[in-house]
Structure formats: structure tokens, C-alpha cells
Amino acid sequence: MYILGQQLINGLILGSIYGLIAIGYTMVYGIIGMINFAHGEIYMISAYLFAIFLALAGVFGIDSLPVALLFTLAFTIIITGLYGFTVERMAYRPLRGSTRLAPLISAIGMSLVLQNFVQLAQGANDQALPPLYHGVLRLGGEEDFVQITHIQIIIVAATVISMAILTYVINNTALGRACRATQQDRTMANLLGINTDWTISLVFVIGASMASVAGVLITFNFGSFNFFIGFVAGIKAFTAAVLGGIGSLPGAMLGGILLGLSESLFAGFVNTDYKDVFAFALLVTVLTFRPTGLLGRPEVEKI
């Protein structure tokens, strides 16, 4: 029984990360109807930025770990937000009026550019950070217990807080209203005085910020990364977004949690080597019986 509990905790942690990254996919798709396939590389870059800014915090004499982490998180979000803004300006805005295939190819090209840029700038070898914190919480008896680290608790808390802040912004602020108006009818939003170009750019920045939070958390937890982690995480997060219903913020988080739990349970009780196969088989099954995803809505064509 304790093995089931441990796998559920591992799946929840993994699913939280998938959900944070999936938010970027679902926001971009929701507002312009396109997939940002460079989003996984934004997550990868945030892992490198986390290590760089953490080292700079030590250079500047910041000895307190919580202060150093807040410093690192703030600057990582700022820089990855700029990367998201650049991706939108270079890969999407010039092609917004073209066929739907052109921005897709451009985004894949931008993904390869970012991946190779990091490989050339930082090297192809795996990078690692020393363990920063060792706190562990054990639940159960002396022999049969479930273990959750303090870092994993921070991951869940940060995910809940990030989702709550984003939900509030979308539902209760002028930016959120501009996003919803742009999503529903871009032409009418322009006529009403909304700068839709700026709104779309801000959506890319917000999505990149969510990916940067995920990158910081996962690097803080595992301590190792390389230039290729964005590809795998990006594909998994895209799967989570589609599974939950792409275009739906709650769906992105739900899809991430379900994907993380299914991977963890399959790896723990069946076979670790085929956990990815099971995850994608789950996606195919859901889309076969519910093509819009679990929380997605059928797209209504305006005529």
C-alpha cells in the first residue's frame, strides 16, 4: 500500500510540472489557434538560467538559500519572458496572416535554433548542481512509509500558487479581458481599442514565465539538465494540454496531473521502459472517444 502512496506522490509532482508547461501551450493555442513548439526549449533555457543566476547570487554575497532562490526565480522569469516575447515576434507575428502550416514550421525551426544555441553556448554535456536542500517528510511506520521531500512540497505549493495567480489575472484584470476578447474575435477587439498584437505578445510572455517556474522547480529538485530536456518535456506537456482539452487552463493542469499519475503508476507497477508508451496510448484513447479532450469544448466556426 505504501508503494501505491509513493507512486501517487511522485505522479503528482511530475504532473504539476507537466501542467505548468502545458499552460503555455494552451494559452497560445487559445488566443491565436496555433501551437508553440518552441515552448519546450523555453523550459530548457530556464534550467540553465537557474544555475547561472544561482551562481551569481553567491558571487553577490547572498548566503541565504530562500533569498537566493527568490532572486534566481525573479531573474529567470524575466529572461525567459523575453525569450517568449522574441519567439512571438520572430516566429509568429510575421506569419500570422499566412497559412496555418507556416507558423508551425517556423516554430519548429525556432525550437531547433534555441536548442543548438544552448548546445553551442553551454556545451553538449549534462550539467549538474549540488544538492541544495535535504529535508524529507516521512508518513507511516518505521519500515513501511511514504516519503516526500520538502522540495516536492514546494513544487506542489508553487504550482497551486502560480495557477491561482494566473486564473485571477485571466478572470479579473484588464489584461485577462483583453485576452478573452482577442480570443473570441480579434478584429472586433481591435475596433474596440484593444492592442491585440501586444496582448498576444503578453500571452507568450506569460506562458514562458510558467515554463520558467517549472524549469526552476524541476532543476531545484533533480539538479541535472542538458540542452535536450526541452524536447521531451515539451512533447509530454503538449500531450497533457491536448489530454485536458487544449485551450482550457484547468484542462492543462488536469491533463498534466493525469499524465504524471499514469506515468508514475505504470512505471511503479508494470514496466518503467514502457511508461511513455502507456502515456501516449492514454492520449489516443481519450481523443478517440472525446476529441476535444476532457475539458475542451468543440470549436464553433464563425460564419
Sign of CA dihedral 224, 111, 86, 121: positive
> How far is residue 157's CA from residue 255's CA, in Å, rounded to a whole number?
18
Residue 301 lies in a domain: no
**0.85 cut: is pTM over it?**
yes
Residue 298 lies in a domain: no
> How far is residue 280's CA from residue 259's CA, in Å, rounded to a whole number?
9
Residue 97 lies in a domain: yes
Residue 300 lies in a domain: no
Residue 167 lies in a domain: yes
| Mean pLDDT (whole number) for 115-135 | 85
> How far is residue 85's CA from residue 203's CA, in Å, rounded to a whole number?
9
- The answer to whether 92 and 18 are in contact (CB under 8 A) is no
- The answer to whether 28 and 39 are in contact (CB under 8 A) is yes
User: For position 96, which CATH number holds?
Assistant: 1.10.3470
- What CA–CA distances, in Å, run from 130 to 44, 56, 171, 215? 19, 15, 40, 16
Residue 299 lies in a domain: no
Residue 294 lies in a domain: no
Domain count, the chain: 1
The tens digit of pLDDT for each residue in 217-263 reads 888 888 888 998 988 888 888 888 888 888 788 888 888 999 999 88
Residue-level pLDDT at 133: 74
Residue 59 lies in a domain: yes
Q: Which three-class secondary structure state does DSSP give residue 146?
A: strand
Tell how far CA 198 is from the center of its chain: 22
| Mean pLDDT (whole number) for 160-178 | 88
Domain holding 237, by residue range, is 2-289
